[in-house]
Chains A and B, each alone.
Chain A
């Protein structure tokens, strides 16, 4: 019997090409396990790459939305730009990845994005068992319910037998179930979607009497509905929703960087340092401000950045107050509320820069 080597050579070639394709996967699969040493930190990866990859929502005006210039803008987006400014002195060195609620954590854990700035609620289980690390809260929110004014619905208990549009796979969906159980409404029907746009389209078409989400998101989305004044928010606040940037677990170097850049925004506002007056502080005698801006001490370099990282952030994106006013205050008329400095009755508080 005669054997022809040709088919075997062919399968050899196929096998070779398949295993070649497998190669890059191996690199990405092992990288999230490795950052335990400082040089292995994601910070080094980002610096050598020359730009930050930031996971955002992209569908919530005021937080992350495409503006009339065709660029992403919003509070979450400005945070990414702030980190890029601290790292590269250039807020444009960011690549944005639009992620759905369900994709976001996998994208972070697998290292596809460096940081997640995507209105993500800080909860115990996410912080502990899901391998995430939450940087300081940048927006204190609460879950609300939006209804059409003319439906005569004034409280959650009115939802017996009615339907609610809600985002699938989020704390929102679970809070809604909890609250409905609390007020004794058993026969409401949730219409859940993992796509924000599809959800508000269903609400707009009258598929649901109400739509439930974070109150800030409801106000933001109301502004882009055809008749914003025809919709109201119920008074009930269903939950605590502290939203902030998230990084993957087991990389304290990178976590610290994100954490302190976020604090720099808050501390900047507390010092009354903003993007227009930041240069006038160069000759200040206040040692606290000197340390903050990096003219004294070695705070930045000790964490792997430059000493003037806070100066860079504030110069390029402004302090927290400016970011808030630019994205939420002026365009949406959203009150500061809890998102005010601790000195003015809010919850924003930065530990000392020293």
Chain B
């Protein structure tokens, strides 16, 4: 008798078992989602209402300091969330820029031939990558920025940097007519320089003119020096960073830069040894080897993991409450406590972070496509 003549029993029929398992899984997953949906519906019945955000008669009735746009307790609730969102975006954006710069520097330092640079960057990466971020934020806030001198006897470094535990003042161009004029001067000079460049003037001369332009621009800016107003005890002039913002920014930057450094190191190490040798054989100087040959190729490997580091930084910024900074999460939490609307506020915060991260991911994917090898 041939084996195929006997029909396979149902419990050994792989096709049947496959379909059966699929149906069971489908039912279970459906039941799970049904349970969640039911839970949500129960909560909705208690009175889900997003309208309170836009109710003009409901004032936020709490103050927020250190805001990007002016805010007072009489403003409606949605504006409080907007203020928190701008605060979040401020720390995310500056954090991403600073962490990238610092990360690239440290990452290249890890590959240096200099023993001192190599060891220092190794210790840096190992310390900041292997300790929890929350702990680091507590350290930066309570251990560093709150321990700066008090406003009565501030530490003044060459009048350009003022350190107090009330805030950090940095020399900064003020938004005055003078600053506007110097920016105008810079734009006109750059157009003129492009024109000169097109005229095939010697590169050295253009370089000198460019340097001079930048120098004049910098000197012409209306620099404002940070000072302590002794009567009110507040810092005035220049760029003033609150200790809450600064410790969050420094914490996020340092933590993320340690990860970015490893991403950069891996990217550079992934470039074929032959590329180094070929570049050297062409007679390029060491920094040009890196700048023109190695780094552009490393970028293709670096960008995708770098994107997730950016996303992590954006999400980690919600730990702001460790440094008493009012980000969108902290503001939403305060409103939730005031109104008792936990579900709505959590939803708002979730959607906010989702949108921010999708935008970051989209931007980075676009950039990623640009640096990949175009196969024609």
Chain A interface residues (CB < 8 Å from chain B): 2-5, 8-9, 11-12, 15-16, 18-19, 22, 26, 29, 33, 101-102, 105-106, 125-126, 129-131, 160-163, 168-170, 173-174, 176-178, 180-181, 186, 188-195, 198, 201-202, 205-207, 209
What are 28 A-B pairs with beta-carbon distances under 8 A? A3-B14, A3-B17, A4-B18, A5-B17, A11-B25, A12-B21, A12-B25, A15-B25, A15-B32, A16-B28, A22-B35, A29-B42, A105-B340, A161-B229, A163-B166, A173-B62, A173-B334, A174-B62, A177-B62, A178-B61, A178-B73, A181-B72, A181-B73, A190-B62, A201-B142, A205-B142, A205-B165, A206-B166
User: B134 at the A/B interface (Cβ < 8 Å)?
Assistant: no
Instruction: Tell me whether chain B's interface is mostly helix, strand or loop, or mixed.
Output: helix
A177-B73, A193-B324 are known; give 20 further A-B pairs, CB within 8 A.
Answer: A8-B25, A12-B21, A18-B32, A125-B339, A125-B340, A126-B340, A130-B340, A168-B321, A168-B330, A169-B334, A170-B337, A173-B62, A176-B63, A177-B62, A177-B63, A178-B61, A190-B62, A190-B63, A190-B64, A195-B321
A162 touches B324 (CB 8 A): no
- Contact partners of A5 in chain B: CB under 8 A: 14, 17-18, 21
Chain B interface residues (CB < 8 Å from chain A): 14-15, 17-18, 21-22, 24-25, 28-29, 31-32, 35, 39, 42, 46, 61-66, 72-74, 142, 146-147, 150-151, 165-166, 229, 232-234, 243-244, 321, 324, 326, 330, 333-334, 336-340, 342
- Contact partners of B333 in chain A: CB under 8 A: 102, 168-169, 194
- Contact partners of A170 in chain B: CB under 8 A: 337
A202 CA / B141 CA spacing, docked (Å): 9
Those 5 A-B pairs whose CB atoms lie nearest each other, nearest first: A189-B65, A8-B21, A169-B337, A130-B340, A177-B73
A191 CA / B21 CA spacing, docked (Å): 56
- Contact partners of B232 in chain A: CB under 8 A: 160-162
Listed residue (A2, A189, A209) with the most chain B CB atoms within 10 angstroms of its CB? A189
- Contact partners of B31 in chain A: CB under 8 A: 19
Task: Give A104's nearest chain B residue, CB to CB.
Answer: B337
B342 touches A106 (CB 8 A): yes
Instruction: Return the contact of A191 from the options B29, B61, B324 (Cβ within 8 A).
Output: B324
- Contact partners of B22 in chain A: CB under 8 A: 8
- Contact partners of B334 in chain A: CB under 8 A: 102, 168-169, 173, 192
A134 CA / B72 CA spacing, docked (Å): 31
B32 touches A191 (CB 8 A): no
- Contact partners of A9 in chain B: CB under 8 A: 21
- Contact partners of A160 in chain B: CB under 8 A: 232
A174 CA / B24 CA spacing, docked (Å): 53
A126 CA / B142 CA spacing, docked (Å): 33
- Contact partners of A198 in chain B: CB under 8 A: 142, 324
With A168-B330, A177-B73, A209-B233 already in contact, the answer to whether A129 and B340 are too (CB < 8 A) is yes
B15 touches A3 (CB 8 A): yes
Instruction: Return the contact of B147 from the options A174, A178, A189, A205 (Cβ within 8 A).
Output: A205
A129 CA / B58 CA spacing, docked (Å): 15
